[in-house]
Structure 1
Amino acid sequence: MPKLTIDNIAINVPEGTTVLKAAQSVGIEIPSMCYLEGCSNHPTCMVCMVKNNANQKMLPSCATKVTEGMDLVSDDAEVFEARKEAIELLLSDHVGDCEAPCRVACPAYMDIPKMNRFIAAGKFDEALKIVKEEIALPGILGHICSAPCEKVCRRKDVDQAVSICLLKRISANEEESFYFPDKKKASGKKAAVIGSGPAGLAAAYHLVKEGHACEVFEKENRLGGSLLEAIEKGDLPESILIKEIEILKQFGVVFTIGQKIEKENWEQIKSSFDAVILATGSGLENVEELGLKSAKTGLWADSDTFATDQTGIFATGSAIRTQKMAVKAVAMGKETAWSVDEFLRKGEGKATKRAFNSRFGTLRKEELSEYLKESVLGDRVEAKSEKGFTKEEAMEEAARCLHCDCRKLDNCKLRVCADIHNADRRRFSFGERNSVVKYYDHESIIYEPEKCIKCGLCIEIAGKYKEETGLTNIGRGFTVKVSVPFNQSINKALTVAAKECAIACPTGALSLRSN
């Protein structure tokens, strides 16, 4: 059995073992994209590189067999940079969005396309679950959200944007019984939220969701903060506010009204709770009296963690700077709660980090028909009632969504590797990008060739299943593409191996239609 060293760890492995498998045998994880157990190892992605200390050369670990006396490095700065460069080269030829533009534009980062798909299928309860993962007050925002998501909706390049806000509203209004997401195990920690406006209510919801006890203090004798202004203007029915606060109460949030924060009770609150969030809107007058640092726009707080200069005290929403958009206040409340959760568990707040997101820009005119393959024709559905959509109207409108997000949002290896390596998707992007094409006529899969990294796994799997046509590489060099030979349809190419090919694909190039 040959002996080698990886990261100063000595290993004995059977003859013929790859460096990748040898590393895995001692818990060293090397990223890879084109490798799949049971298939031939053709190192096309070059993401699994390791360095040979003997000559300082880089080797693809998935295809390199162990030899006696090898001395390798898998995790130094040079290896990291080589992998990052390989990923950036793959991204230069990648035409596809990870997240749909609507979700990126949503301050609360709601998974809008997934909500749309559930509503289109008549699964309103499932749609609500998606909404409530990110948004504490969907019924309220369904009435007063300024809908920045609709301004970037790609459907408007065809006719009109999808009515995302009204769809969000019906997901909350159609709730026959209160939906409560799973809570994490009780932490034994207590947090106070000062203020019951949109930021404060959202912070309280997410703190309880994370497993902490939470009490909201409101100086007025009525809950809602700035949301009461929307009621007075006629933009928000009071019944919606009452309903969503009742949901929060049943979820576990405790409310105390008529409790103005002054110097005396401020010290008591600080000593009674493990963390405090100031969500007082722009009306906190006694900042200096409470010993807090102020800024030109309001309370001073770290722009990433929302922590003030006092340990355990955080600020959010208009308490930091005036928020004209309710959805932005809700988003800030959520992110503040996540930072407080980190503080309660580890002693220090943490900034919210979004995963890597590939974006290819504006759709070309010729690409609109490709996206319409996953949608329906027809103008925007107008609600016949002031209350919003009926179920039938909502299903019809949701079906207009173009499905701009990637079907492998959470398990695309290219995205995972790009995120880990902080890749720059523009580094090697020169000249015109390729046009989006969607093969949508297969009953169980979709093929988007401009997301393909030419790993060849689908070709090999189709061959194993003895597909009569299968897939093949067409072209040479940089112009090579994986496609169906002899101008056949993808239905003809993949009759039995389609599902396995889609599962094996390291990106969203081949994906299951059901995703």
Structure 2
Amino acid sequence: MIKIKINNKVVEVEEGTSVMKAAQQMGFEIPNMCWHDELEHFTSCMLCMVKDKKNGRLFPSCSVKSVDGMEISTDDQEIADSRKTALELLLSEHVGDCEGPCQIACPAHMDIPRMNRLIAVGKFDEALAVVKRDIALPAVLGRICPAPCEGACHRKTVDEPVSICLLKRIVGDDGVEPTVPEVDKTGKKVAVIGAGPAGLAAAYYMQLKGIDVTLFDKNEKAGGLLRTELSEEVLPMDVLDGEIEAILKTGAEFRGGESIGVAQFNQLKKDFDAVVLACGTVTDDSEKYELKAGPKGIVADRNTYQTSDEKVFAIGNVLRSSRLAIRSVGQGKEVAFSVMQFLAGQEIKGEPRLFNSRFGKMVKEEFTEYLKESVEGKRRIPEQGKNAGFTREEAIAEAKRCLHCDCRAIDDCKLREYSDQYQVDQKRFKTSERRKITKEINHDLVVYEPQKCIKCGICVRLTGKYQEKFGFSFIGRGFDVEIGVPFNEDLKKGLTETARKVAEGCPTGAISLKDVISTTEKEKSVDKKIEEK
């Protein structure tokens, strides 16, 4: 046994142990992308750099063996800068979107591609659970949303965008309401003034975080402008009432017929731990509640929605008049993060956003590649008319038109996770022309997207270890090297036994399982990453 010091802590390890493994034994996590527990080191990503404190040199911890008396630092500014540069070099050749353009365009940031995949295989209940993670009123918005997501849909470059709103509508109409999860109560109380789309969404997501919410509204019934400004033909009241009922089932209390003036507002600030203003367009000074205001409404931080009073948050039309209900619903979800952070005494940052790789516009040569995972044909029109909406069969057929622009590894991609951690600039080493996207989908279990590959060699080494007849190999030399099945054989012949293991070992979304991802452990893992930010 030998002794080395890592981050000023002494550890005994066997001679020949890599510095990476020694650090792991002590609980120090060193970022890596080419390391695999079953394989010998490869040293390609250069992300695991650490520093020899005796001479100040950086070296890759995966390949250097521990030497008695070593003193190692795993984290300082020079090391962080080195890792950031390594990531930016990897991203310079990486072509792929983490999130689909439809999700980015959605004001509520709803995971539209995941919803589409679930609908396409008839999993309407699971699709509703996905939608309600971001949109508290899916059946309502499926009828009235102007669909900015469809304007960003890559499918429109091929022919016509996917009918996302109608798909969301049938999920809201037909899907079984997800069970409200049991959460630990925070013991905190929040008053929400206004029970329109913004206030209802805020109440829903705060209740899911263990906060007790009371909704106040001047009208006897909740719904705001959704109830008073829309016709029964556009939005049937039973649909609105059903979604409000689902929100109140989380435990939120509704008090209708209560107008909140300045005196009542000040009392609410005393009685509750925080107040959320969602009471609609400001029409006179009494509705500003002595908060800082501008010509359009109450002034609040654009990321956190906190007002000039740290205990008060503002969302929806109280900030500026808008008829876009999806924006109000999105703000309701987002403010729940800010309120939770405020109540916990944390720095108020609002809803965290993870790093998002984007490749830009799809070019004509890529249409065929994306259509491999889709179906031909223009968007479907409901046979009974738009007001009637899709049948289940029509919805399944329309959902299959989705091009799957997002990444299947969105929830567990190391490249995304570390790029977010080190706040990288994807365009720092941008080349003059990006590579064209290709997809290999002729395998029963996996999809291979070479342009997402970082040449870590894990797939090459795994297929070699398990003695695949063809496996994967490095093809070419220098900057033009690629990974693929040798002798121009197809993916099926390359991965006869190891497809699942290779997909699980891939640090990016280059090789991914085809399985439909549902609302299970993968989503919980990304939720945990977001909460930790």
- Gap runs ≥5 in structure 1: none
The answer to whether the Cα contact below 8 Å between 1:129 and 1:181 also exists between their aligned partners in 2 is: no
Partner of residue 281, structure 1: 280
Q: Per-residue CA shift, 1:248-302, capped at 9, x if unaligned? A: 2222221111111113322322222111101011136344873322122211222
Shift of 1:74: 1.2
Q: Is the CA contact 1:34–1:43 (under 8 Å) kept in the aligned structure 2?
A: yes
**Does the Cα contact within 8 Å between 2:4 and 2:10 map onto a contact in 1?**
yes
Deviations 1:105-151 (A, max 9, x none): 11111110110011111111010000011111101110111111100
Distance in 2 (alpha carbons) for counterparts of 1:284 and 1:211: 33
CA distance in 1 between counterparts of 2:283 and 2:314 reads 11
Match of 2:214, SS?
Answer: strand
Task: Tell me which residue corresponds to 2:344.
Answer: 345
Matches within 5 A, 1:224-373: 224-232=223-231, 234-283=233-282, 285-287=284-286, 290-346=289-345, 349-373=348-372
Provide the residue aligned with 2:75 in structure 1. 75
AA of the residue aligned to 1:102: C
Q: Deviations over 1:61-104 (max 9, x none)?
A: 11111112222221110000000000000000101111011111
AA matched with 2:306: A
Aligned to 1:100: 100
Do structure 1's residue 419 and structure 2's residue 424 form an aligned pair? no
Contact 1:132–1:181, Cα closer than 8 Å, also in 2:
no
Structure 2 CA distance for aligned equivalents of residues 161 and 350 of structure 1: 34
Any conservation in 1 of the 2:261–2:286 contact (CA below 8 Å)?
Answer: no
CA contact (8 A) 2:3 2:10 kept: yes
Contact 1:20 1:61 in 2 (8 A): yes
Distance in 2, matches of 1:115 and 1:155, equals 16
Partner of residue 410, structure 1: 411
Q: Deviations over 1:136-182 (max 9, x none)?
A: 1101110111111100111111111000000000001003x543442
Preserved contact between residue 128 and residue 177 of structure 2 (Cα < 8 Å) = no
Q: Displacement of 1:226 after TM fit?
A: 2.1
SS in 1 for 2:263: helix
Alignment of 1:145-294 (within 5 A): 145-175=145-175, 177-232=176-231, 234-283=233-282, 285-287=284-286, 290-294=289-293
What SS does the corresponding residue of 2:344 show, helix, strand or coil?
Answer: helix
Q: Does the aligned pair in 2 maintain the 1:231–1:238 contact within 8 Å?
A: no
Distance 1:333 1:513 in 2: 34
1:306 offset after TM fit, Å?
1.1
What does 1:357-506 correspond to in 2, within 5 Å?
Answer: 357-385=356-384, 386-506=387-507
Report the counterpart of residue 142 of structure 1 in structure 2: 142
Partner amino acid for 1:115?
A: M
**Secondary structure of 1:298's aligned partner:** coil
Q: Deviations over 1:322-362 (max 9, x none)?
A: 23311111101111111111112226533222100000011
Q: Does 1:2 align with 2:2?
A: yes
Letter in 1 for 2:230: I
Residue deviations 1:416-474 (CA, integer Å, cap 9, x gap) = 11000001111001211111111100111111111111111111111122111111101
Look up the match of 1:508. Answer: 509
String of CA shifts for 1:212-249, please: whole Å, max 9, x gaps. Answer: 11111001233211213542485322222111111122
For 1:339 and 1:323, the matched residues in 2 are separated by 22
Cα distance in 2 for residues equivalent to 1:463 and 1:485: 12
Matches within 5 A, 1:5-44: 5-44=5-44
Partner SS for 2:435: coil
**What secondary structure sits across from 1:141 in the alignment?**
helix
Which amino acid in the other structure matches residue 43 of structure 2? Answer: P
SS state of the match for residue 216, structure 1?
Answer: strand
Asked if 2 retains the 8 angstrom alpha-carbon contact of 1:287 and 1:293, the reply is: no
User: How far apart in 2 are the matches of 1:140 and 1:268?
Assistant: 33
Tell me how far apart the structure 2 counterparts of residues 348 and 93 of structure 1 sit (CA, whole Å).
Answer: 35
Question: What is the CA distance between 1:191 and its match in structure 2?
Answer: 0.8
Q: Contact (CA 8 Å) 1:262, 1:286: kept in 2 or not?
A: no
Q: Which moved more, 1:388-397 or 1:224-233?
A: 224-233
Which amino acid letter does the alignment assign opposite residue 28 of structure 1?
A: F
What letter corresponds to residue 153 of structure 2 in structure 1? C
Distance 1:183 1:327, change over 3 A: farther
How many residues end up aligned between the 2 structures? 514
Question: Structure 1 pair 458/67, CA: closer, same or farther in 2 (3 Å)?
Answer: same
Root mean square deviation, CA, Å? 1.5
> What is the Cα deviation at residue 183 of structure 1?
4.3
- Note if contact 1:44-1:454 (Cα within 8 Å) is conserved in structure 2: yes
Q: Give the distance between the partners of 2:183 and 2:244, measured in 1 at CA.
A: 21
SS, match of residue 295 in structure 1: coil
- Corresponding residue for residue 519 of structure 2: none
In structure 2, C-alpha distance between the alignment counterparts of 1:29 and 1:15, rounded to whole Å? 21
| Partner Cα separation in structure 1 for residue 231 and residue 400 of structure 2 | 35
* Equivalent residue letter for 2:268: I
Check conservation: 1:287, 1:299, Cα contact below 8 A.
no
Distance change >3 Å, CA 288–CA 398, structure 1 → 2:
closer
Amino acid at match of 2:353: R
Structure 1 183/322 Cα, relative in aligned 2: closer, same or farther at 3 Å? farther
Structure 2: segments with no counterpart, 5+ residues: 517-533
Report the CA distance shift for 1:161/1:52 in structure 2 as closer, same or farther (over 3 A).
Answer: same
Structure 2: distance between partners of 1:311 and 1:361: 39
TM-score under structure 2 normalisation?
Answer: 0.94
**SS at 1:369's partner residue?**
helix
| Residue range with higher mean Cα deviation, 364-373 or 322-331 | 322-331
